[in-house]
A = this chain, B = another copy of it.
Amino acid sequence: MNMEIFALGGYGVVGRNMTAVKVGDEVVILDMGIHLPNYIKINEDQETLKSSLTRKHLIQEKVVPDDSLIEDIRKQVIAIIPTHAHLDHIGAIPYMAGRYNAPIVCTPFAGEVIKAILKDDGIKIPNPIKTLNPGASMKLSKNITVEFIPITHSTPQTVIIILKTPAGNLLYSNDFKLDNSPTLGRKPDYERLKELGEQGIKVAIIDSLYASTKAKTPSEMVARDMLADVLLNMDTKGKGIIVTTFASHIARLKSIIEMGEKLNRKIVFIGRSLAKYCYAAENAGIYKFSDKVEMTKFSKRVKQFFGKISKEGKHKYLLVVTGHQGEPQSTLSKMVRGVHDFPFDANDHVVFSSNVIPSPINLKNRQDLEDQLRARAVRLFTDVHVSGHGSREDMRELVNLIKPQHVIPSHSPPERIQSYIELAEEQGYKNGFTVHGMMEGQRLIID
């Protein structure tokens, strides 16, 4: 029996991940994400009405994947399964899932985030959301079963998806790193991966974002140590401390909280998206923020917050805020522009526990934000961060462990596909026969 792979989104591009797998007359969709820079652009360019965000318009603007390649088999879709809670994997669900008469199957954390997004955007979708824990399995139909293998990444409950089908097993690892010292959650389940490898994996689709980086990505523990160095070893007496990081990076937020406790400072989280992900993590039983952190997302209360901080003295606080990419509407940008009333002084500390995602708009926004902060002689600590994506040697370790018959690189610009193909060739795969570089809009039949 054939297995048919449709590269709908995220092949040759970073973002808008979506793959369809067809076996017999059944189709499973893996991931349904947006292209974040393009999404930001359409929201910025025009005073877009929410109602204008139709699937058709979003496809044209390359925000969501173009799923017209599977138009004919649309009714055969039996499940939509995202790997984790990042928007490039779940963000298109509000706009596209409704076209498919199929449930969304995901981890509890991803489920909470999807529900929060739907609520925020005021969108209702008919698809039921079924949750499955990392490590567990679920029968999707008589013929097809899904299993979630725990893997490490920069947001909790990221999984490798295993589809067990009459045409063989498919492994979909999009995104991942191999972190042997995670600061939250478990290590990758190497035993189960090895076992599955021994049972035989027909096709593996694998995050190849950093396939050309000749390294193993450092553990989250390293980010934690760098944070500790910056927060605990510098002269911060009497100074403000503001940290910004990815709202979905629950492990990083946990580390920041622990540092704040060592500094004996009150910890406050300010910003809409921080609240969204933290409540989702709390609802999914991952981390109890409300015991340790004062948090707000509503703009009215933000004003009160800043009033209180000014009154009590900013040196008693550690603020965690949105704005790591310099977004003009983020809390940090508003603080420095004076929209929020925060008394910046020379030698206050601002820590960017993130990288800059290098699109022109981010580069410009970050430069603006940093220039404004530097004009106040604020101390900047940037790149206090390690990536959630594996590098070339994480990828080789994985492929050696699971030994699939076929590999397909995903989640990367075209030149990294090439890099992954070379990596696969080093491990004995043959281009066009057992390793397949795919680009958006292509279809591959494996028999």
Contacts and interface: CB of A to CB of B under 8 A. Distances in A.
Interface of A: 12-13, 41, 45, 66, 69, 180-181, 214-216, 218-219, 221-222, 225-226, 229-230, 233-235, 346-347, 360-361, 363-364, 367-368, 370-372, 374, 377, 379-384, 392-393, 396-397, 400, 413-415, 417-418, 421-422, 426-427, 431-433, 436-437, 439-443
Contacts of A219: 225, 229
Contacts of A397: 234-235
Nearest to A373: B214
B441 A432 contact: yes
A393 B381 contact: yes
A442 B11 CA distance: 15
A361 B326 CA distance: 14
Stoichiometry, as copies per complex, reads 4
Given A233-B180, A361-B364, A413-B414, A380 B225 contact: no
Contacts of A440: 431-432, 437
11 contacts: A214-B382, A218-B225, A225-B225, A347-B396, A360-B367, A364-B364, A374-B422, A380-B392, A415-B415, A421-B439, A432-B440
A83 B33 CA distance: 43
Given A218-B229, A382-B215, A383-B215, A418 B427 contact: no
A216 B235 contact: no
A214 B432 contact: no
Q: Which of A181, A218, A229 has the most CB of B within 10 A?
A: A229
Contact of A414 (B392, B415, B441): B415
A393 B371 contact: no
A216 to B, nearest CB: 5
Question: Which 9 A-B residue pairs are closest in the complex by CB-CB distance?
Answer: A432-B441, A414-B414, A364-B364, A431-B441, A214-B380, A437-B439, A377-B426, A360-B367, A180-B233
A28 to B, nearest CB: 20
A417 B442 CA distance: 14
B441 A439 contact: no
